[in-house]
Structure 1
Amino acid sequence: MRCQRSNALLIASLLLAPLACAAQDTIHVAYAERPPYLLQQADGSPAGLTGTPTTAAFKAAGIPVQWHIVPTNRQLAMIKDPKGLNCTIGWFSVPERQAYAKYTKAIYRDKSWLLLTNAAFAERGITTMAELASQRDIRVLVKDNFSYGGLDKFIHKWHPVVAVSTASTVKMVQSVAKGAVDMMFVSEDEGNYILKNEAGEYAASLRLLQLKDMPRGGDRHIMCSRAVPDEVIARLNKAITFK
């Protein structure tokens, strides 16, 4: 009887061992500085609207983590790696990404979407999404491989003149201010931060417009590769305090 019990305990420990090991594997978390969402701290960890809750969640969950500053397109490549224990911070959950990624609960929710435009475009006096959609000559600047949450379907149906950029947010803002494009979509948090802290000499040429029927901002999540164990996602979800 004692032998049987010992064997049973041995089998149970062997079954649990892979899960325990997986939970202790270091997770590589990539992000790019994007204030006010993500700002790099002295130890490499992120702070900001999405960075601070992510750092806190990994710490509270007791999950070993290594932080990496990585361009956004490279972040997506890391998430698509079927063997890499990789995560990224602050992404929207959209069908295209759900095919290759796992998501935690929301870590932050954006406020309303705004239009960041130059002064000349603002003079058109557009006040609703319908008015915006009726004008096909508008030049819209979008970030390569970014999702704009509830605006994605609207942009697809609208068919404006779209310019795709891989540049930094600061460079994109300068393009708007100089009139190379008419506008870009920004969250309320980001738009206000840009005008106050990043626009510099271009601030006088920029306007933030809130249309009457703009969709609300989307939920932002920690997005991970399929290789990240479900048990790790569950522990992060338990540690995330955002509601």
Structure 2
Amino acid sequence: MKPRMLLAGLCGALASGALIAAEPQLTVAWRDKPPYHYLDNGVPTGFLLTRARAIFDSAGLNARFVSEPQKRIWANFKHGATNYCSISWYRLPEREAVAQFSQPFHEDLPHTILIAPRAAARVKAHTSLNSLLADPALTLGVVEGVSYGPVLDAKIKTSSNTVMSRTVETTQMMRMLTVGRASYIFVDREDWEYFQQKEKPGQSILHYDMPDMPPGLKRHIVCSRDVPQATMNKLNQAIAATGGIFNPGHSQPAK
């Protein structure tokens, strides 16, 4: 090879390496939602946090995982955060307006209902969601800033219940139910199972399933608009390579 051609090849290789090295680090935010992602004695853990780390590692992406409140995460997207991603979110039109979504990597089971004992008879008298949400004597506890899925969100918005909306995590909302602050709440089944194991509420909360509860929704990784399509492609390929979409109705991941 001629010296000039060799030099050109070396320069091209060095330039390519510099571009790879200069690829910006991604900040990947997760919210407190045990057992999906949470702190256990100060150590980040949770079955979806573990899965998300594996996806970013498999994609070969430089990622820094941080814990942030859910409202701050979406405020960051709305206000133009750069090189920013977050994990484990439902795909909704208002979110697609400010962020881009990966392929799904988890599918929830349908929500379930938890009831304060004093309201058990009145809640269980209803055999449909429409009937339940039309009862003005009931108080529904709602975690502000999260989505229960488009079907439940729409029903809650037009509900005749008294809606008690609080900026708390789901675990705290369940604690509020144990002391009768609300008549009932909607929760993910994994949240309820974890709460039972950790806090052993006994008869201070009752569990109830509605036959017309909407199907569980899929969860995605979301990233800010400036994240290149090539990076989103890497994430999608890594999701497929690490097992695709997980459905808890078929098998149970390690927690």
| Coarse TM-score class (shorter-chain normalised) | 0.7 to 0.9
Question: Where do 1:190-229 residues align within 5 Å?
Answer: 190-198=191-199, 200=200, 202-229=201-228
3-state DSSP of counterpart to 2:35: coil
The whole-number CA distance in structure 2 between the counterparts of 1:107 and 1:50 is 9
Q: CA deviation at 1:40?
A: 4.1
Q: Match for 2:128: what amino acid?
A: T
Deviation at 1:136, TM superposition (A): 2.4
Q: 1:19 Cα shift?
A: 7.9
Shifted more, 96-105 versus 77-86: the winner is: 77-86
CA distance in 1, matches of 2:175, 2:42: 31
Mark the CA change 1:193 to 1:91 in structure 2 (over 3 Å): closer, same or farther. Answer: same
TM-score (norm 2): 0.80
Of 74-83 and 105-114, more deviation after overlay is shown by 74-83
Residue pair 1:81, 1:225 contacting (<8 A) in 2 also = no
Would the aligned equivalents of 1:36 and 1:49 in 2 still touch at CA under 8 Å?
A: yes
CA distance in 2, matches of 1:228, 1:41: 31
| Pairs aligned (count) | 233
Look up the SS of the partner of 1:208 in the other structure: strand
Give the superposition deviation at 1:207.
Answer: 1.1
Q: Which residue of 1 aligns with 2:233?
A: 234
Structure 2 Cα separation of the partners of residues 33 and 225 of structure 1: 20
> Which residue of 1 is the match for residue 48 of structure 2?
50
Q: CA deviation at 1:112?
A: 1.4
2:161 equivalent to 1:160: yes
Q: Give the AA of the match of 2:234.
A: R
Secondary structure of the residue aligned to 1:164 is strand
Whichever residue aligns with residue 211 of structure 2, its letter is K
Deviations 1:51-87 (A, max 9, x none): 1221111000000001111111111122224242111
Distance 1:42-1:191 versus aligned 2 partners, 3 A rule: closer
The aligned counterpart of 1:130 is 130
Aligned twin of 2:179: 178
Distance in 2, matches of 1:164 and 1:231, equals: 39
Point out where structure 1 has 5 or more consecutive residues left out of the alignment: none
* Aligned equivalents of 1:42, 1:225: Cα separation in 2: 31
Q: Is the 8 A contact 1:117 1:207 kept in 2?
A: yes
Query: Is contact 1:32–1:72 with CA below 8 Å preserved after alignment?
Result: yes
Query: Is the contact made by 2:84 and 2:223 (CA closer than 8 Å) also made in structure 1?
Result: yes
1:69-148 equivalences in 2 (<5 Å): 69-124=67-122, 125=124, 126-148=126-148
1:225 Cα offset (Å): 1.3
Cα deviation for residue 38 of structure 1 reads: 0.6
Task: State the AA in 2 paired with 1:181.
Answer: A
Query: In structure 2, how many angstroms separate the alpha carbons of the residues matched to 1:19 and 1:94?
Result: 34
Distance (whole Å) between structure 2 residues aligned to residue 222 and residue 41 of structure 1: 23
Residues 1:83 and 1:197: Cα distance change in structure 2 (over 3 Å): closer
Distance in 2 separating the partners of 1:43 and 1:57: 23
Between the aligned partners of 2:202 and 2:227, the Cα distance in structure 1 is 42
Runs of 5+ in structure 2 lacking a partner?
246-255
Aligned to 2:221, the other structure's residue is in SS state strand
Matched residue type, 1:69: S
Mapped to 2, the partners of 1:74 and 1:47 lie a distance apart of: 20
TM-score, with length taken from structure 1: 0.84
